[in-house]
Amino acid sequence: DTAVSQTPKYLVTQMGNDKSIKCEQNLGHDTMYWYKQDSKKFLKIMFSYNNKELIINETVPNRFSPKSPDKAHLNLHINSLELGDSAVYFCASSQNSGGRTDTQYFGPGTRLTVL
């Protein structure tokens, strides 16, 4: 009965590789997000989607490409991985249109390590 799930939990890969992280929510929410948490625990939004439509696209290298096949899924594909991409990536979802008061529900995170 997990609300927001991510796979894989851990991802270790070499520089230059391409990898994907998957996210699914079973809460019936309309909006999904990707966040990056760096080694100092600082959390920053990367993208958000509302009903499969891109809403927020922060200043993120275009090696990062989100894909939302349906409103319950938001995947993150990363090309040509770099050392600086090492971080914990969190998926989140919220019920409505990502409004200012919406509560966001977070997944358990994916720890990406680039060697």
Partner 1 sequence: AQSVTQLGSHVSVSEGALVLLRCNYSSSVPPYLFWYVQYPNQGLQLLLKYTSAATLVKGINGFEAEFKKSETSFHLTKPSAHMRDAAEYFCAVTGKTDKLIFGTGTRLQVFP
Residue number with CB closer to partner 1 (78 or 92): 92
Residue number with CB closer to partner 1 (20 or 97): 97
With CB under 8 A as the contact rule, which of the stretches 22-30, 68-76, 79-87, 93-101 interacts with partner 1?
A: 93-101
Residue 109 sits in the site that holds partner 1 (CB under 8 A): yes
CA dihedral 74, 59, 115, 35 (to 10 degrees): -40
Of 84, 81, 76, the C-alpha closest to 6 is 76
Q: DSSP characters for 62-80?
A: TTEEEEEEETTEEEEEE-S
Residue 56 sits in the site that holds partner 1 (CB under 8 A): yes
Q: Is 89 helix (H, G, I), strand (E, B) or coil?
A: strand
Residue 60 sits in the site that holds partner 1 (CB under 8 A): no
Residue number with CB closer to partner 1 (14 or 40): 40
| Shortest separation between residue 42's beta carbon and partner 1, angstroms | 6
Tokens of 105: 């529900």
| Shortest separation between residue 96's beta carbon and partner 1, angstroms | 10
Cis peptide before 69 (omega within 30 of 0): no
Distance between CA atoms of 108 and 49, rounded to whole angstroms? 19
Kindly list the residues in this chain that would bind partner 1 in the complex (CB under 8 A): 4, 40-45, 48, 55-56, 90, 92, 97-109
